[in-house]
Amino acid sequence: MLGTDRSRPAWDDDPVVAEWPGLPQLDTDVSTDVCVVGLGGSGLAAISELVDRGHDVVGIDAGRIAAGAAGRNGGFLLGGPATFLHDALAAWGQCAVDLYRATLDEIDSLHLVLGSDVIRRTGSIRLAGLPGAPPDVADAQDCAALAQCLRENGIAVEEYSGELGHGIFLPDDAVMNPARRALGLASTLQGRAALYEHTPVSTIGSRSVTTPSGTIRCDLVLVAIDGRLERVLPQLDGRVRTARLQMLATAPIAAQRLPCPVYGRWGYDYAQQDAAGRLFVGGGRDRFAEEEWTFSSDPTAPVQDYITEVAESMAGEPVSVNARWAASVGFTGDGKPLCTEVDDGVIAFGGYNGTGNLVGPVTARAAVALGLDGTPIPEYLTG
């Protein structure tokens, strides 16, 4: 029905990802200072923070690093939370600006560690609508309101008008292959922390994590999971909810059409183009909202048909789809990321509302400060 691979993201075509040698599976009991469960972007950020502070760390993941949402998302590095800044500022107060600035700092940090081969500082374009579609007046007005808010808070923004349509350009943003980011960070941590792949969690208790092949005893457990967090920690059911986000990748198109990551229709639809000319496209969750509240990570024909239309809009021509995939991510009721102590010595963080590439590491650093120092979480997080 879908006609392409139903699970493998096209990001894995990158030679660095395809040739990843892998990490061992935990096969014995161990003791450590801190155990980090989940080796996506936020878990790896937490481990980096912990080892920089001199702590012994064991990190585990149920699969390969970046096999979940950390390596299956759109690869956008956009400043701020999922909620556009003017709306977040109205709902949360000045802390929304604090989060925005923290995410911009995170781009700087990633670029410093991984370099321009992985983190491309292209800026991003938010369109009012989609290319080739009639202008969306309400979306255009919201773009203008966001631009005004950004300027008032000293954040760079420009008007955009070009072949893609009209909207705003945010020069501080960046783009990446998300699997390259995660595996690159893991590579920098090898030898500094004990990292294990294909090591699923059986139970998480106060100061211990049990796996099928060994128990990890520690002073602190950090659970760095976004999608399916409420399955791993049922006490968070109702505070975070898992949804499916779907993507596809095309064969190279005729023109180098997208100069940077582009998102439109209030940010629900998005795409980037790689150096080979392929488009990586996602979206449509709002149009199929009830169906996408699910633990399943299989792509579905209705959403994929819609995303194919988005791809052709972004391309300005018919496209050939080479890969289709999906991933599970977490959403919170108020739009703030979740960071909370769920048991003595157990802190969970996730619920990034579809924008975890920068918000996740920011939340991870807050979780480390909470766990080690007792520092209260910032106002832009839900505790």
What is the tens place of the pLDDT at every residue in 13-60?
A: 999 999 999 999 999 999 999 999 999 999 999 999 999 999 999 999
Average model confidence (pLDDT) across the chain: 96
Is residue 1 pLDDT above 50, yes or no? no
Query: Tokens 């990190």 identify what position?
Result: 59
Rounded average pLDDT over 271-287: 97
Q: How confident is the model at residue 7 (pLDDT cuts 50, 70, 90)?
A: confident
Q: What is the pLDDT of residue 303?
A: 98
What span, in angstroms and rounded, lies between the C-alpha atoms of 368 and 223?
Answer: 11
- The fraction of the chain above a pLDDT of 70, given in percent, is 98
For 80, 94, 294, 366, the CA distances from 378, given in Å and listed in that order, are 14, 11, 30, 7
187-190, Cβ contacts within 8 angstroms, sequence gap of 24 or more: 188/48, 188/113, 189/44, 189/47, 189/48, 189/51, 189/59, 190/23
What tens digit of pLDDT does each residue of 324-380 get? 999 999 999 999 999 999 999 999 999 999 999 999 999 999 999 999 999 999 999
Check if the beta carbon of residue 102 is closer than 8 Å to that of residue 139.
no
Q: What is the pLDDT of residues 122-151, one digit of tens each?
A: 999 999 999 999 889 999 999 999 999 999
Would you say residue 6 has pLDDT above 80?
Answer: no
Tokens 């096999």: give the residue.
67
What integer pLDDT is reported at residue 135 of this predicted model?
A: 84
Q: Which domains does the chain have, with CATH numbers?
A: 16-72+178-240+335-373 (3.50.50.60)
